[in-house]
Amino acid sequence: MSAIEPPRNRLWWKQPLDRTEGLWILIAFVWCMVMFFMMPYWHIYGKQNLANEAYRTTPEAFQKKTDEMVAKHKVREETDLKIPVVHPPAGSDVYLIARLWQWWPMLELEAGKTYRLHLMSMDWLHGFSLQPENINIQVHPGYEHILTVTPTAPGKYSIVCNEYCGINHHTMVSRLYVVK
Amino acid sequence: MAVNRNFRTCPSTGLVYHEPAEKLMKWNAVAGVVFLLLGGVLALLVTLTRWPAVHLLPADWFYLVLTAHGIDMLIFWIIFFEIAVLYFAASTLLKCRLATPRIAWAAFWMMIVGAVMNNVAVFKGDSSVMFTSYVPMGAHWAFYLGLIIFAVGALLACFVFLGTLAVGKAEKTYNGSIPLVTFGATTACIIAIFTIASGAIILIPTFLWSVGLVDHIDSLMYKTVWWAFGHSSQQINVSAHVSVWYAIAAIVFGAKPLSERVSRGAFLLYIFFLQLASAHHLLTDPGLTSNWKIFNTSYAMYLAVLASMVHGLTVPGAIEVAQREKGYTRGLFEWLRKAPWGNPIFSGMFISLIGFGFLGGISGVMMGTEQLNLLIHNTIYVPGHFHATVVIGTTLAFMSLTYFLIPTLFRRELMFPKMAAWQPYLFGLGMSVFALFMMGAGTLGVPRRHWDITFAGNALAHEFPGAAFLMMGLTGIAGVAAVVGGGMYIAIAVGSIFFGKRLDVPAARRVAVRDGMAPPPEPAPAIPTGHGTPAAWGLIAPGTFALAMVFLVSFVLYYFVNWKYLSTVWPLS
């Protein structure tokens, strides 16, 4: 009878659907299909998709490539920690290290140009959160994640760690410059 | 060993309680409420720290308290209460004895030991790894072992539930199919078994890693398997609290499901498709292909979303039909206006349903969309979403059920009835505002699990917009209101259970197997065709249908607003 008693009619599965339910199921199902098609659609026509490109690597190998980039393209140093700021040429491979509790080095990119951004953690999980643009990506140790990114507007952006990574998690913040 | 066949019939509701089952329900529910109290105190501390103007705790304490809050609420409070609901749905609703009470007690004590062990590890201060405990960040081994022991206990309790279904069937205590609520609870139980298995697969190696027997755990593998446990464990809650919604609709209104077929079918969709939705925690991780992400989050997940959309219609629809039969037939919404809004059993359940659908459901689908996830992954939008689903959805539904259980299960009069009438509003609405402003702040980039969004003393400090601070402040105020609402619940529940006026307790009476059998089934009636008289537009529940359309329009608008927002973000591929 009610929902806390066994159904009085033993052939309950043969009861025809009421129109209220039937209509709603139809509408809801159509909406679910719209949502389903939005994701492949955006892969074809949209511009914001995560790459499928990632490689397993080691912290040493990633550090080496980052050091090479820094040696080649360093333009200045910032803060007391003398964090290098690099200005790599448009279209090049750009490396960004996440580690307890720092992003290294600082990047200076050109607006409207495209870069291959390599992200990796040296130790624990970190979160790459680009503010105020609000792009948020998970950064794993051992996985080199490669994204093709095109900064649109010049300005001073921040990279905030948004994956909890231990006691000084909230101090893990850095800059990203986009110049004309 | 003699089988205990002592039963008592509740004089006010006619429900039948098996003596050992009754005791187990009480103890599990009380244990749950104790963890809710602990988690609630911690919730206040977390809220007061993230409220920027207050910023109460130092960093180390904040991360410790946040870890304990998450685990005590999401695991210990909810699962203890769910075990009580499972025993109720099996033993009481099927009017049968609980299978193997001794194993059920072993399960209970294992869960207690595990929960205490985990809490001790966290409060000692070396296990502030959050609910997710992502490796390679490590906790004390007792942290993992506590969770494992708790999980094994919960698994045993699930088997006791299934055993009880078998007992009911074998001893013929009911005719035909099990009630819808029991069916929903069975769904929850099946999802729980899958969940606990995944938890074991990931937590056991992690435990061995913490004591030095395994030397490496891959962070991506951990995260993938962990979420098969982590998200599914929240989907036990969905099945459980939807069952509670149906139960309350039946208890308060005598509502019967619009059609058993649709409601049961929707529960089945949960079993088939909910688990895959765990993948939406991995949408911004490297090493997983877009095809994998799209299949897991969309193809399958939207059928689970469909199931929730169906329940969201059928529960209020059943109430509408029941109310219309009582004569509240004027207009689209007289049935709703004349509903017992002063009865916390109903008001809590209804706020739970609306909050879960509008806030939790819509935001959940938006976050679970592969590309949209980029906008809010790991921001405070995420806790905004799950406070809407788990707290407004599950916790509030369980609170409403408690108001029913206090007189019938505990046989005590409800204390502070005035306060009880207000409690769901303060808690439910406080929590809704809290979740809403968290989502707002998350859209502005405020990270979750973050002690200081001013980055005080940092040379590279980021300045969040003023609106973000305003919203975090409003989150703090609403959070305090919700904590007060939670405190009222604890005061009413604990007060009533220990000091409430005793209602007459009918003595448990021994029932022989033969006497406990359901009467022989009547000959099957003809296949039913009707559902009641259509009230408007040829629909039996036009008011509910109108509400569902409001929901759909909000959903569609919000979904596409987010795509629009995404299209303005830096191109990325």
Tokens 């920690």 belong to residue: A81
Q: Output the six-digit token pair for B318.
A: 């059943």
- Kindly list the residues from chain B whose CB atom is less than 8 angstroms away from the CB atom of residue A42: 370-371, 563
Tokens 């609402």 belong to residue: B485
Closest CA of chain B from A68, distance in Å: 23
Shortest CB distance from B257 goes to which of A3, A52, A162? A3
Q: What is the mean pLDDT of chain A?
A: 94
Minimal Cα distance from A153: which residue of B? B570
Q: What are phi and psi of A54, to 5 degrees?
A: -155, 145
Per-residue pLDDT, B403? 97
Q: Output the six-digit token pair for B35.
A: 């963890």
Closest CA of chain B from A55, distance in Å: 7
CA distance B84 to B78: 10
Kindly provide the b/e burial profile for residues B512-542, where b requires at least 16 CB atoms within 10 angstroms of the residue's own CB.
Answer: eeeebbbeeeeeeeeeeeebeeebeeebbbb
What's the whole-model pTM score?
0.96
CA separation (Å) from A176 to A78, B229, B509? 12, 36, 75
Cross-chain Cβ contact A20/B541 below 8 Å: yes
Q: Are the CB atoms for A123 and A166 separated by under 8 Å?
A: no
Of residues B566 and A8, more confidence is placed in B566
Cross-chain Cβ contact B258/A16 below 8 Å: no
pLDDT digits (tens, 9 = 90+) for A65-120: 999 999 999 999 999 999 999 999 999 999 999 999 999 999 999 999 999 999 99
The 3-class secondary structure across B163-198, one letter per residue, is HHHHHHHHCCCCCCCCCHHHHHHHHHHHHHHHHHHH
Tokens 């969770």 belong to residue: B147
- Kindly list the residues from chain A whose CB atom is less than 8 angstroms away from the CB atom of residue B260: 7, 12-13, 15
Q: Are the CB atoms for B51 and B367 separated by under 8 Å?
A: no
Strand-strand pairing, A173-179 and A155-161: antiparallel
CA distance A88 to A73: 5
Q: What are phi and psi of B78, to 5 degrees?
A: -70, -40
Q: Spell out, as residue ranges, where chain B has pLDDT lower than 50.
A: none
Minimal Cα distance from B556: which residue of A? A31
Cross-chain Cβ contact B176/A134 below 8 Å: no
CA distance A138 to A146: 12
Per-residue pLDDT, B295? 87
Per-residue pLDDT, B200? 84
User: Which stretch of A13-17, A169-173, B23-27, B428-432 has the lowest confidence by average pLDDT?
Assistant: A13-17
Instruction: Name the CA dihedral angle for B146, B147, B149, B151, rounded to a multiple of 10 degrees.
Output: 160
Q: What is the mean pLDDT of chain B?
A: 94
CA distance B233 to A20: 32
Of the candidates B454, B508, B342, the one whose C-alpha atom is nearest the C-alpha of residue B51 is B454
Task: For residue B254, give the DSSP letter.
Answer: -
Closest CA of chain B from A136, distance in Å: 5
Q: What are phi and psi of A58, to 5 degrees?
A: -115, 155
Q: Residues B461, B466, B467, CA angle at the centre, nearest 5°?
A: 130
Helix (H, G, I), strand (E, B) or coil at A156: strand
Question: Mutate which of A138, A147, A150, A165 to test chain B, going by most B C-beta atoms within 10 A?
Answer: A138
Of the candidates B190, B183, B193, the one whose C-alpha atom is nearest the C-alpha of residue B94 is B183
Per-residue pLDDT, B531? 65
Q: Are the CB atoms for A126 and A142 separated by under 8 Å?
A: no
CA distance B30 to B391: 18
Domain ranges of chain A: 15-49, 53-179
Half-sphere exposure of A97 (CA within 13 A, CB side): 26
- The verdict on B324 touching A (C-beta cutoff 8 Å) is no
CA distance B509 to B495: 29
CA distance A35 to A17: 25
CATH code: domain A53-179 is: 2.60.40.420
CA distance B298 to B277: 8
Half-sphere exposure of B366 (CA within 13 A, CB side): 30
Task: For residue A14, give the DSSP letter.
Answer: G
Of the candidates B426, B245, B430, B478, the one whose C-alpha atom is nearest the C-alpha of residue B352 is B245
- Kindly list the residues from chain B whose CB atom is less than 8 angstroms away from the CB atom of residue A79: 459-460
Task: For residue B539, give the DSSP letter.
Answer: B
Q: Output the six-digit token pair for A80.
A: 């007391």
Shortest CB distance from A29 goes to which of B223, B298, B306? B306
Tokens 């049968």 belong to residue: B96
Helix (H, G, I), strand (E, B) or coil at B514: coil
Of residues A14 and B347, more confidence is placed in B347
CA distance B352 to B405: 18
Q: How many CB pairs (< 8 A) connect A and B?
A: 317
